[in-house]
Structure 1
Amino acid sequence: MADTFQNEVPRARINLKLSLHTGGAQKKVELPLKLLTVGDFSNGRENRPLSEREKININKNNFNSVLSEFSPEVNLTVQNTLAGDGTEENLKLRFSDIKDFEPEQVARQIPQLRAMLAMRNLLRDLKSNLL
């Protein structure tokens, strides 16, 4: 009864095991995965060195609130392949929720792609009304 379903670990999970050798005895200890990401995510707004900044604990329950608090954005210059004339477009993508990283949500932030999405939705609605 020692190996119950509660001790089974899904294959997708990362398992860290440490083998301790103390006084001839060997013991295996499973460690939790803890990840520390250090970087300047203030986009130049913070002047203090990284060592003096507040550490933020992020987990699955507070990810969206932390993301909305920081509201990261990406400024890009990309070639406008839709126009086909070799021009470039300046894009500003903002993220305040984990769902903002989904392809359709990213496309909604780009004016040309937003128009194409609207056309796709109109065609989908038309098709569903005809069937």
Structure 2
Amino acid sequence: MPRYDSIQSRLETVRPPRVRLTYDVQVGDAIEHKELPFVVGVLGDFSGADGGTAAERPRLKDRRFVPVDVDNFDEVLRGIAPSLRLRVADRLSAQVGGPGGELGVELRFERLEDFRPESVVRQVEPLRRLLEARTRLADLRNKMAGNERLEELLVHALREPATLVAIGHDAPAASE
């Protein structure tokens, strides 16, 4: 097992610490300034898993500290594998005349970026489909900007009922 220097000594070479705890010690007639290291320890089961009964989990004294910093945060998060499983009201189906009800959602987090809203949306299937449709519409809008020929074709397609019916028949095949 490799020997690690304390995090405080490594940080001093990289950047000064944000929290500095000092105290003054009187040694003879002189006063010395001593600095205490600032270390935070957090205990807890963060995986989101049930982990069984308290007897099945490792005892507190058998657990080890895991040093976490900006360089290994994603690795530590991947090792913990936090997840969230819940049921939410299905407002998307209800808005389009569907049955509504509840939607089962399971979110997994392996990197810090997985907590961003767009990453969460990609993990929920109905929301992912809406995000893809939004992206396609934004792409179409960007293509139409300054493209008069494409705009004319779209206006023509929207005015012709036969063209709309043909597009409607082709749409399910295109989305598969």
Shift of 1:14: 4.4
Are 2:71 and 1:41 aligned?
Answer: no
Correspondence for 1:74: 84
Partner of 2:163: none
Q: Distance in 2 between matches of 1:106 and 1:67?
A: 16
Percent identity between the two aligned chains: 32
1:54 and 2:64 equivalent?
yes
Separation of aligned partners in 1, 2:59 and 2:34 = 36
Larger RCO: 1 or 2 (CA < 8 Å, sep 6+): 1
Q: Please give the alpha-carbon distance, in whole angstroms, between the structure 2 residues aligned to 1:14 and 1:115.
A: 44
Q: Aligned in 2, Cα 1:19/1:94: closer, same or farther, shift over 3 Å?
A: same
Greater share of residues in strand: 1
TM superposition shift of 1:115 = 0.9
Shift of 1:36: 1.4
User: SS of 2:106's equivalent?
Assistant: strand
- The count of aligned residue pairs is 121
Q: Which residue of 2 aligns with 1:4?
A: none
Residue in 1 that maps onto 2:19: 15
Q: Deviations over 1:44-85 (max 9, x none)?
A: 066211221122111111111121222211111222222346
Q: Which runs of 4+ in 1 moved over 4 A?
A: 23-33
Alignment RMSD, CA only? 2.8
Once residues 92 and 62 of structure 2 are traced to their aligned partners in structure 1, the CA distance between those partners, rounded to angstroms, is: 46
- Structure 2 length-normalised TM: 0.57
Counterpart-to-counterpart distance in 1, 2:128 and 2:121: 6
Residue 34 of structure 1 aligns with an amino acid whose one-letter code is V
- Identify unmatched segments of 5+ residues in structure 2: 1-14, 146-176
- TM-score w.r.t. the length of structure 1 is 0.74
**Structure 1: 5+ residue runs without aligned partners?**
1-8
Alpha carbons 1:72, 1:95 under 8 Å: kept: yes
Largest Rg, 1 or 2: 2
